[in-house]
DNA sequence: TGGTTGACTCGTA
DNA sequence: CTACGAGCCAACC
């Protein structure tokens, strides 16, 4: 165990903070995928962790509604309270949603980096 | 202490 | 378009 190890030490709390920071970094009117947020937080392949963190979040200022599935769909079950709320929040920001799905390319179409902005 | 869940994703069929 | 498996991991039970 060296000092380097301590510096680079990762903990669930730190992962959560990095994830939340990335969610807050999504500008109004734009959306990002769970996997995208995870990747930007330095946690590639941990999309599910992003969902876990968001489900446990209590910060009302967190723009959680800007996080979608990789295919552009809202992750909540269609018609559920959460689904309706997310839809409403996105609509309020001018994000076009059709049948629970945001227009634009799917995350899988481009592995590089992607934030689906207002222009698509 | 160990199994199950879930606001996920990707490749394959 | 659907279905299934594998990978993922904190939170629950």
Closest nucleotide over all strands to A47 (CA to C1'): B8
- Strand B-proximal residues of A, range 61-100, CB below 7 A, are 64-65, 67, 69-71, 75-77, 82, 86
For A54, the domain range is 3-109
pLDDT in tens, A29-63: 999 999 999 999 999 999 999 999 999 998 999 99
**Residue A12 to residue A5: CA distance in whole angstroms:** 16
pLDDT for the residue A11: 83
- What 3-state class would DSSP assign to A21? helix
Residue A104 DSSP class: S
State which nucleotides on strand B lie below 7 Å from a protein beta carbon.
6-11
Helix (H) or strand (E) holding A36: helix A34-40
- pLDDT tens sequence across A75-110: 999 989 999 999 999 999 999 999 889 987 565 544
Nearest to A96 by CA among A31, A24, A25, A23: A31
Return the nearest residue to C11, CA–C1'.
A52
HSE toward the beta carbon, residue A18, CA cutoff 13 A: 17
The CATH number that applies at residue A56 is 1.10.10.10
Count the domains in chain A: 1
């Amino acid at each position: 165990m060296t000092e380097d190890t301590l510096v680079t030490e990762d903990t669930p709390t730190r992962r959560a903070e990095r994830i939340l920071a990335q969610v807050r970094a999504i500008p109004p009117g734009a959306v990002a995928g769970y996997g995208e947020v995870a990747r930007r937080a330095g946690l590639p392949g941990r999309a599910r962790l992003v969902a876990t963190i968001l489900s446990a979040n209590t910060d009302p200022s967190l723009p959680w509604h800007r996080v979608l599935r990789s295919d552009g769909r809202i992750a909540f079950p269609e018609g559920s309270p959460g689904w309706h709320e997310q839809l409403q929040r996105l609509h309020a920001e001018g994000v076009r949603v059709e049948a629970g799905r945001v227009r634009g390319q799917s995350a899988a179409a481009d592995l590089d980096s992607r934030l689906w902005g207002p222009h698509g």
